[in-house]
Amino acid sequence: MKFKKHKVFMIDFISDFVNGEIDRYFFDLDYSAYVIEHFPYMELEDSKLADKFVYTIDQAYERGTDLGLSDEEFRVKISNALDKWLGKK
């Protein structure tokens, strides 16, 4: 599957968190800003994949922060959502 610029940016950012290259504190600081910056372009690039982002990654992020999950539980939740968004699960 070929991804365009803004989807690639978000995939890389989220993957860095999932792979432990970014800790949760910095992920939380950057996540909302990156969604605001990149999501409108993601919708233009591929509206279906952008919608799927909302129902996988963004939903997992919101639920994970609302539930007060530990950093590792949150990382797993985001990892599972990333896999689902990309069609790996």
Convert the pLDDT of each residue in 19-40 to its tens digit: 999 999 999 999 999 999 999 9
- Which pLDDT belongs to residue 16? 97
List pLDDT tens digits, range 36-60. Answer: 999 999 998 888 989 999 999 999 9
Whole-structure pTM value: 0.89
CB 78 within 8 A of CB 61: yes
Question: Confidence band (pLDDT; 50, 70, 90) for 1?
Answer: very low
Q: Is the pLDDT of residue 63 over 80?
A: yes
**DSSP labels for 54-68?**
IIIIIHHHHHHHHHT
